[in-house]
Amino acid sequence: MRIENLLKRGLVKYEEADRLQREIWAAVRDGIQDHTLLVAQFEPTYTAGRNTHEVDLLNKELPVIRTDRAGSLTWHGPGQLVIYPIVKLREPVDLIAYIRAVEAAVVDSVRDTWDVPVETIKGRAGVWMRYRDAGGRTAVQRGAGQDRKLCAIGLKVVQATTLHGLALNINPDFSNAFTGIIPCGLADAGVTSLFEEGAYPAMDQAAAVITGQLAKKLQPLLATGTS
């Protein structure tokens, strides 16, 4: 698995990374380049996926980039680690298995490395800190409280080759991040970060841990004859 690490460039423009991912996607699709994990930290940017509803944009003055990924509105910027797995999948493509593998890579990384008890929630993409009251009841069971999303996942697969990926909140400034939108279109949920949950990794450390787990979890799904 090849790593294309843009972190050394500092903050990069979303459009620049998007152009690069599409160049890599074509090369991976055609078998010219190995499976690649594109790693970056973006300049402050709002993006809207294919499932965005206008009501999710609370501040109509915000500049929003429309994308072809799944999901709704989200924010990218300083303190957030973005990783795009650009891989060729075995056919017939099992999209659900691919999504679950990406989620599992994040869950295992966060739990095993930083001892933060994240999990997935049925019917909601991404990786979460689940709300539980003193009696262990969830927000749904209690009818109150908010689950908090730590990592957003928005993907696309074209010609058995993947685009887009995950955005893990390490330490974004929440006084600016995610303002003016309903993140991921979920009005009944919140957002959190590793710092908020008591874990303090450096960006490059987090990138190394997550990319290692992604390479491991995705390997069984890759097209034969590729690496």
Residues that are catalytic: 184
The response to whether 73 counts as a known ligand-binding position is yes
175 is in an annotated binding site: no
d(Cα 72, Cα 52) in Å, to the nearest integer?
A: 4
Q: Is 165 annotated as a binding residue?
A: yes
Helix (H, G, I), strand (E, B), or coil: what is residue 166?
Answer: strand
Other C-beta atoms within 10 Å of 117: how many?
11
State how far the alpha carbon of 82 is from the alpha carbons of 43, 102, 169, 210, in Å. Answer: 11, 13, 9, 10
Ligand-binding annotation for 155, yes or no, is no
The annotation status of 77 as a binding-site residue, yes or no, is no
Would the annotation count 180 as a binding residue?
no
To the question of whether residue 71 is assigned a binding role by annotation, the answer is yes
79 in a known ligand binding site: no
CA 226, CA 94: separation in Å to the nearest integer?
Answer: 17
Has 166 been labeled as part of a binding site? yes
With the CA atoms of 190, 196, 201 and 202 taken in that order, what torsion angle do they form, in degrees rounded to the nearest 10?
A: 80
Residue that is written with structure tokens 């993409």 in the block: 125
The HSE-up count of residue 132 (CA atoms within 13 Å, CB side) is: 10
Query: Which residues contribute to the annotated binding site for substrate?
Result: 69-76, 152-154, 165-167
Which residues are part of a known binding site?
69-76, 152-154, 165-167
